[in-house]
A = this chain, B = another copy of it.
Amino acid sequence: MTIAAQMLDTYPLDLGGIDKQKLLTCIDACVECAQACTACSDADLSEEMVADLRKCIRSCLDCADVCGATWRVLSRHTAYDANVTRAVLEACATTCKACGDECERHAHMHEHCRICAEVCRRCEQACRDLLGSLG
């Protein structure tokens, strides 16, 4: 059981109908994606062909920032606002898709991009699954 799961389990109030498993999966995916994208942007920067990876670096930095804001919003439940959650999840899914697409283009050359692309896909899916469950 991850720490995020334990924190969710010990939350003092009802979560107001949100799908707990999908919420947890999404928090974990965003946390993982924020770290992977930060690391991937720096690995890109270390490559000899850095000039060809400019767009990839930017996509990763954007994705790290948006995933970072998303898991923070999702980790708060007090007086939960579905409009905000929905808008943030939409932005996160869009950003993860853009970053996943970009990293995938370099996946055959850079193993860090291959891993990062997979993490972005998983995070995009987790955002969409949670969005779908919000009704």
Contact = CB atoms under 8 A, between A and B. Distances in A.
Number of contact residues on A: which range applies?
35 or more
B71 A69 contact: no
A18 interface: no
B12 A47 contact: yes
29 contacts: A4-B39, A7-B39, A7-B112, A10-B115, A11-B46, A12-B110, A27-B35, A35-B75, A38-B71, A39-B75, A42-B58, A45-B78, A46-B54, A48-B51, A50-B50, A58-B80, A58-B81, A61-B76, A62-B76, A66-B73, A66-B84, A83-B98, A84-B94, A84-B95, A86-B94, A87-B94, A88-B91, A88-B95, A91-B91
Contacts of A91: 87-88, 90-91
A130 interface: no
Interface in A1-52: 3-4, 6-8, 10-13, 27, 31-32, 35-36, 38-40, 42-43, 45-48, 50-51
A131 interface: no
A126 interface: no
Contacts of A90: 87, 90-91
Closest 6 pairs between A and B when the two form their complex, measured CB to CB: A55-B79, A7-B39, A87-B94, A91-B91, A69-B69, A10-B111
